[in-house]
Amino acid sequence: MTDATAATQAISGPPAIEAVGLGKRYRGDRWALRDCEFTVPAGRICGVVGANGAGKSTLLTLAARLIEPTEGELRVFGEASSTPETRARVACVTQEKPLYPSFTVAGTLRMGRELNPGWDEEAAQRVVDMGELRLDARVGSLSGGQRTRVALALALGKRADLLLLDEPMSDLDPLARHELMGVLMAEAAERGTTILVSSHILPELDGVMDHLLLVQAGRIRLSGDPEEILDSHQLLTGIAEGAELPAGTAVERRVRGRQVTALLRTGEPVDGPWESVRPSLEELLLAYLRTPLPPSATATAPDREAAA
């Protein structure tokens, strides 16, 4: 299959993920996620970004059907609940990377082969080989990064249409990160696989994601194409004294001595004694992350605005 057909194939059919009024409450009345509304079209590489404890893992675990929502729905390829068909189409690598420690690497791959009808031995084997893992090594004796590699090999061997990866690169060295991200992108290029990947390392997802979900305190703060989101923001730098920012558009405003820096939600450069530029992805995300949501704010309004 050529690149072009994989890309167009992904466009038809239901979105990979669609959240409607989604909420999850754990024991003790703590809402890990609340009022989440967003869509991730099929074929996207979606970065799930947020601070520790923001709800990223809860979101991915809900999508993997490992837990049930408390309210609302999370549709995966149009299905509101788990079916054998969707289970076969989804692969998940959680932070815990649950593998059998007494299995060897070869045994783990054999398990993948026997449990998954569409198993791709070559894809799984390649990921293992790239890490120069010994096939007869027990999983329990491997380092964290090596176990990550085995877990990713299992997920890729499954030939899923949706890959859910929770902080997959956190315990890998820079070379392994680059290699495995390359393997994931190649998979997406060839098969139009949708990938949801969470990370709190922002540069890791720059250039990789073409869809952004910014999760903040259990809400979806931003959702959409990162380029479009960046186009609809301006980063202003100017002299603080007498500075009047356009009303109602400031995401963040910081004063250092005489200088003021502000991130505004507007696509047009702002007139005035400013330098007004399009922010970088990191500047934009950091500004949002530094600014907590007001308690009354609903997460859905900026979401729609950004996604439009």
Partner 1 sequence: MIEYRIERRSGVSTYQQIVQQTKQALRLGVLQPGDKLPTAREVVEQTAINPNTVLKAYRELEREGLVEPRPGLGTFVRRSLARPEAAADGPLRAGLVEWVDEARTAGLDREDISALMTSVLEQRFRTGVTGSTGSAGDTGAAGSTGPADPAA
Residues near partner 1 (CB under 8 A): 2-4, 7, 43, 45, 178-179, 181-183, 185-186, 188-190, 203, 206-210, 227, 280
Q: How far is the CB of 43 from partner 1 (least distance, A)?
A: 8
Q: How far is the CB of 176 from partner 1 (least distance, A)?
A: 11
Residue whose CB is less far from partner 1, 12 or 52 = 12
Contact between 40 and 196 under an 8 Å Cβ cutoff? The reply is: yes
Nearer to partner 1, 217 or 230 (CB): 230
Other beta carbons within 10 angstroms of residue 259's beta carbon come to 12
Residue partners of 173: CB distance under 8 A and separation at least 6? 145
Which residue is associated with the tokens 């920012």?
245
Closest to partner 1 by CB, 110 or 278: 278
Quick one: CA dihedral 105, 110, 111, 117, positive or negative?
positive
Q: Which is nearer to partner 1, 4 or 247 (CB)?
A: 4
CA distance 89 to 76: 10
Residue type, 185: M
Closest separation in Å from C-beta 294 to partner 1 = 33
Q: Would you say 85 or 190 has its CB closer to partner 1?
A: 190
d(CA 96, CA 151): 10
CB of 291: closest distance to partner 1 in angstroms? 24
113-151 per-residue burial string, b: 16 or more CB within 10 A, e: under 16: eeebeebbeebbbebbebbebeeeeebeebeebbbbbbb
Q: Which is nearer to partner 1, 171 or 206 (CB)?
A: 206
- Beta carbon of residue 285, minimum distance to partner 1 (angstroms, whole number): 14
Distance, in Å, from the CA atom of 254 to the CA atom of 256, rounded to the nearest integer, reads: 7
At closest approach, how far in Å is the CB of 165 from partner 1? 14
Helices (H), the chain: 3-9, 56-63, 84-89, 105-115, 121-130, 144-157, 174-191, 202-205, 226-231, 281-290, 300-307
Q: What whole-number distance in Å separates Cα of residue 16 and Cα of residue 1? A: 21
Q: Which two tokens stand for residue 25?
A: 């409450």
| Min CB(134)–partner 1 separation in Å | 24
CB-CB contact of 192 with 4 (8 Å): no
Indicate the residue among 135 and 186 with the shorter CB distance to partner 1: 186
Task: For residue 29, list its beta bridge partners.
Answer: none
| Cβ distance to partner 1 smaller for residue 51 or 208 | 208
CB of 237 to partner 1, least distance (A): 16
